[in-house]
Amino acid sequence: MAIEAIILHPTDNTAVSVTDLPEGKELDLKAGSELRYVKLVEPITYQHKFCVTPIKKGEKVLKYGQVIGEATADIRVGEHVHIHNMVGLRIKAASKA
């Protein structure tokens, strides 16, 4: 079975697709020793992020075990995580300057 997506660090609340994935695709993703089940609620294109644990508005978005942004809306498991529902922290900091 080919790898279709990967959680880059066990603490991440996002995964990255390594191929185009259709809406409704069901995935079992390994996060350290834990297995996370995700059903995509929308198509995810190659190299894009999607949510693997619920993220509430204002919570940090994690990738590589690092904070990469902040949710601007609640993000459901299986939902695309991108500029429509998160802001990168460098962009947010620059807009306050």
Domain borders along the chain are 5-96
pTM for this one?
Answer: 0.90
pLDDT of residue 97: 54
pLDDT of residue 89: 82
Give the total residue count for the chain: 97
Q: How far apart are CA 55 and CA 93, in angstroms?
A: 21
Q: Which residues of the chain have pLDDT under 70?
A: 1, 90-97
21 DSSP β-pair partners: 44
Q: How far apart are CA 29 and CA 26, in angstroms?
A: 10
pLDDT of residue 95: 62
pLDDT of residue 93: 56
Q: Which residues contact 79 (CB under 8 A, 6 or more apart)?
A: 41, 42, 50, 51, 85
Q: Which fold has domain 5-96?
A: 2.30.130
